[in-house]
Structure 1
Amino acid sequence: MEKQGSRALLAAVIGMGVLLFIGSLVLVGVLVHRMMHPRPAVQSDAQVAALPARPMEGGIQAPLLLDEAPGTHVASVTAQSDGLLAIGLSGGEVADRIVIWDPAGQRIVARLVIGHP
């Protein structure tokens, strides 16, 4: 009885070792494949609406002006990891909306209207 238990245990240990070895080979193979075949950067097909350059006033750049309805207020501002700001706007007798702003490029990247007023 003792001999059969130790054989089963030895077989289980050898089997797990083989599985670990195969798993390690697969992991290394995936890493090598990804290094040899990198994915291209995701490119957006959306048009970027650039605002016209604003003149410098005494060495200070003029403020960015948004064409929003009177009574509009900022509901939220969220910074994205790529440096863009998602600004939630509401009020002004217009449906709630989100404006994506690129502070570095001084431009509005996208506008999203949410629902109806």
Structure 2
Amino acid sequence: MDVPAQPDAATDCSGVSEILNRVGDKWTMQVVVTLRDRPRRFNDLKRQVGGISQQMLTRTLKTLERDGMVVRTVCPTTPPQVDYALTDLGRSLSEPVRQLAEWAAGHLGAIRDNRSRYDANR
């Protein structure tokens, strides 16, 4: 009977860190939240994700597609229409991302106050 190999803790941690860095960056989080309700076209996403450049949105969508969190669908129209939607994996990420965003919004005032006090004492 084969016993599965135990994961290497160092490799496991670096893999988890890589994923957390990717899904925790501000553009990934905003794209995932924006796609949570429905598929969107590129320009619609760009309008919804304030401040993102076309290049950064393209890069973020390609990374999410590569990781299997977003699916890109090209509709055979003239001109071609491209929709982006969350996969099941992406939807499973959207709930914790939404909760984190709600936590951040709910604690923003307290964090700003704490920063001001800290900076004043420096």
TM-score range (shorter-chain normalised) is under 0.3
* Structure with the larger helix share: 2
TM-score (norm 1): 0.23
Which has the larger strand fraction?
Answer: 1
TM-score by length of 2: 0.22
**Higher RCO structure, 1 or 2 (CA under 8 Å, sep 6+):** 2
Max radius of gyration: which structure? Answer: 1
